[in-house]
Structure 1
Amino acid sequence: MTKQLVIKVTAGADAPERCSQAFTVAAVAVASGVEVSLWLTGESSWFALPGRAAEFELPHAAPLPELIDAILTGGRVTLCTQCAARRDITEDDVVEGVRIAGAQVFVREIMGEGVQALVY
């Protein structure tokens, strides 16, 4: 049975500890060989844009750009369709490797066998 972890992160700079926890858990899971799908929603949507993760700071936390790179290397990052639209973000705007998809895709991912889902 394949183990997959789907993480939906809603927090951004508005809740830095919660945001950092989500990205850290995702990066550690990828490094551990777990299939990871990280969903950017709400305020975390901004991290789909080039350079935005570099603006994020949290003392004693791994740099967000490094975590995102690690996740993209071995996992998948998805920006919520509605969240992107509300922020006027298009596929042409996002970091290479980030896809834009909606609730139907999210539900399909979390309903798979062997899937664990977390929301931050």
Structure 2
Amino acid sequence: MADKLVVKVTAGVEAPERSNQAFTVAAAAVAAGVEVAVWLTGEAAWFAVPGRAAELSLEYATPLPELLEVILDGGTVTVCTQCAARRNLTADGLLAGVTIGGAAGFVEAVMQDGTQALVY
């Protein structure tokens, strides 16, 4: 079993099942004691803005704000540098604990021994 899990979320509210599944898997991994890093790219970058995660609604799914809280309590959330810039997002406008990072940081995270990476 991998010691670390990196989940890259590429979809936003336009693909609620895919988005919610990514966060559900990440939160479940945190609950299981796995070291988790979530990377938000594309439209998923908006989920790092306060109040925006609540815009994703999916029947029978745990609300995204609750999943994000679990992930931030036990893991990390990073927004893609270019994705943030394209949306005029800055670190000051993101949820507490969310950082902005580039491709080199993502590659470093996924290339560590004992790491499993998933892309949604």
| Length-normalised TM-score, structure 1 | 0.98
Q: What are the superposed Cα offsets for residues 17-45 of structure 1, whole Å, 9 maximum, x if unpaired? A: 00000000000000000000000001110
- SS at 2:29 equivalent: helix
Are the aligned partners of 2:8 and 2:38 in contact in 1 as well (CA < 8 Å)?
yes
Structure 1 spans left out of the alignment, 5+ residues:
none
Are the aligned partners of 2:13 and 2:55 in contact in 1 as well (CA < 8 Å)?
no
- SS at 2:7 equivalent: strand
For residues 54 and 117 of structure 1, the distance between their equivalents in structure 2, rounded to whole angstroms, comes to: 26
Q: What are the superposed Cα offsets for residues 28-72 of structure 1, whole Å, 9 maximum, x if unpaired? A: 000000000000001110001000011210111000000000000
Aligned to 2:102: 102
Are the aligned partners of 2:7 and 2:117 in contact in 1 as well (CA < 8 Å)?
yes
Q: What are the superposed Cα offsets for residues 61-116 of structure 1, whole Å, 9 maximum, x if unpaired? A: 00000000000000000000000000000011000000000000000000000000
| Length-normalised TM-score, structure 2 | 0.98
State percent identity of aligned pairs.
64
Task: Give the number of aligned pairs.
Answer: 120
Moved >2 Å (runs of 4+): none
Q: Please tell me the residue identity of whatever aligns with 1:118.
A: L
For residues 70 and 76 of structure 2, the distance between their equivalents in structure 1, rounded to whole angstroms, comes to: 10
1:43 maps onto 2:43 in alignment? yes
Structure 2 spans left out of the alignment, 5+ residues:
none
Aligned to 1:53: 53
For residues 61 and 12 of structure 2, the distance between their equivalents in structure 1, rounded to whole angstroms, comes to: 14
CA RMSD of aligned residues (A): 1.1
